[in-house]
């Protein structure tokens, strides 16, 4: 996270453009006004000094102040982050449910029609660009059929298309991994023993096979949560949703350093914490890991 913060800080400050001039957005802005604004936000100080002060403020919990909104960045994140988290969790829930279902069905019907159909859906999910899919969904379900709103209507109606668009790639990844993991587990001796004991097929699949097959899937789910948080940038822009994605786009356009650094660091923190949660969850899913840790 420190490396990401440093890299973002350096890249933002070496890019051309003057954030003070962008903030004033006036071609006739006086040199005195520009100098005063640069001094107010510390842009007139040496770059190493700006970095040390910025990092020190971050460690104290001070995320800085936005140039565009003229508000503390912490209040902006508190306002916009719940929308992004809602979208990411909805997309992840959709991806986990549909991806696990498609992967399980494909494994149980190996080399049959349902297997081929499930893998076609997975191939479509990893191939189609999210921004194009979002535009096609808006054209079909909003403009042509009028079934779902884009900016109006109830919250769940406005969430359906963005969540589907955001979660489709993760659905494809999870379904392919679930299929390969299930195919490996279904040939294990304990599954054969469970069937020989006369257990119902749904018990064999659900209790014995699927639980063990989902252990490697948990890894990719943790990674995908962080990916969905960052992928919300495009989806929120296309669907005109409030959230960190819109905040990042506006901050890049206006060279608003403080919110951009903080939001990117927040997404990086999401990656770190989700992977940590996966490591902890492993022990509950696989008793062998708990025994090895002792």
The torsion angles phi and psi of 65, rounded to 5 degrees, stand at -125, 135
Distance, in Å, from the CA atom of 209 to the CA atom of 204, rounded to the nearest integer, reads: 6
Residue 136 confidence (pLDDT) = 93
In this prediction, residue 98 carries a pLDDT of 92
Q: In terms of CATH, what superfamily is 73-293? A: MetI-like (1.10.3720.10)
pLDDT tens by residue, 195-247: 888 888 888 888 778 878 887 888 788 778 878 887 888 888 888 888 888 88
pLDDT at 65: 83
Read off the DSSP letter of residue 49.
Answer: H
Q: What are the φ/ψ torsions at residue 72 (nearest 5 degrees)?
A: -60, 140
CA end-to-end distance (rounded Å), the chain:
30
Provide the whole-model pTM: 0.81
Q: How far apart are CA 149 and CA 137, in angstroms?
A: 11
Nearest to 50 by CA among 248, 256, 253, 257: 257
pLDDT at 174: 92
Say if CB 248 and CB 264 are below 8 A apart.
yes
Low pLDDT (below 70) residues in the chain: 18, 20-29, 151-153, 285-294
Within a 10 A sphere around the Cβ of 213, how many other Cβ atoms? 25
Task: Give the pLDDT score at 285.
Answer: 67
Is 168 exposed, middle or buried, given 0-12, 13-18 or 19+ CB atoms closer than 10 A? buried
Query: Residue 135 has what pLDDT?
Result: 92
What pLDDT, on a 0 to 100 scale, did the predictor assign at position 102? 92
Say if residues 265 and 5 touch (Cβ distance below 8 Å): yes
Where in the chain are the domains? 2-59, 73-293
CA proximity to 34, closest of 67, 63, 73: 67
Q: CA nearest 21: which of 37, 40, 5?
A: 37
Contacts of 43 (CB under 8 A, 6+ apart): 18, 19, 20, 37, 50
Distance between CA atoms of 231 and 229, rounded to whole angstroms? 6
CA distance 219 to 173: 12
Q: How many CB atoms lie within 10 A of CB 194?
A: 19
As beta bridge partners, residue 65 has: 72
């Amino acid at each position: 996270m420190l490396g990401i913060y440093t890299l973002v800080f350096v890249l933002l400050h070496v890019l051309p453009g003057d954030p003070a001039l962008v903030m004033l957005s006036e071609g006739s802005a006086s040199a005195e006004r520009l100098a005063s604004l640069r001094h107010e936000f510390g842009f007139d100080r040496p770059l190493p000094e700006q970095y040390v002060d910025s990092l020190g403020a971050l460690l104290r919990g001070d995320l800085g102040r936005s140039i565009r909104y003229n508000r503390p960045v912490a209040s902006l994140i508190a306002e916009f982050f719940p929308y992004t988290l809602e979208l990411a969790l909805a997309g992840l829930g959709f991806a986990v449910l549909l991806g696990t279902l498609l992967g399980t069905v494909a494994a149980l019907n190996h080399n049959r029609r349902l297997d081929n159909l499930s893998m076609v859906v997975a191939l479509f999910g990893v191939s189609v660009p999210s921004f194009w899919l979002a535009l096609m969904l808006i054209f079909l379900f909003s403009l042509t059929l009028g079934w779902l709103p884009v900016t109006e209507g109830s919250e769940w109606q406005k969430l359906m298309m963005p969540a589907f668009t955001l979660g489709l790639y993760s659905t494809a990844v999870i379904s392919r991994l679930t299929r390969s993991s299930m195919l490996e587990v279904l040939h294990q001796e304990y599954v054969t023993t469970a069937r020989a004991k006369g257990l119902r097929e749904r018990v064999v699949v659900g209790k014995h096979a699927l639980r063990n097959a989902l252990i490697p899937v948990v890894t990719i789910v943790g990674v995908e949560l962080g990916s969905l948080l960052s992928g919300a940038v495009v989806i929120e822009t296309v669907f005109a949703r409030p959230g960190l994605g819109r905040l990042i786009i506006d901050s890049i356009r206006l060279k608003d350093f403080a919110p951009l650094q903080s939001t990117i660091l927040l997404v990086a923190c999401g990656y770190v914490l989700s992977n940590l949660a996966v490591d902890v969850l492993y022990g509950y899913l696989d008793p062998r890991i708990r025994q090895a840790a002792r």
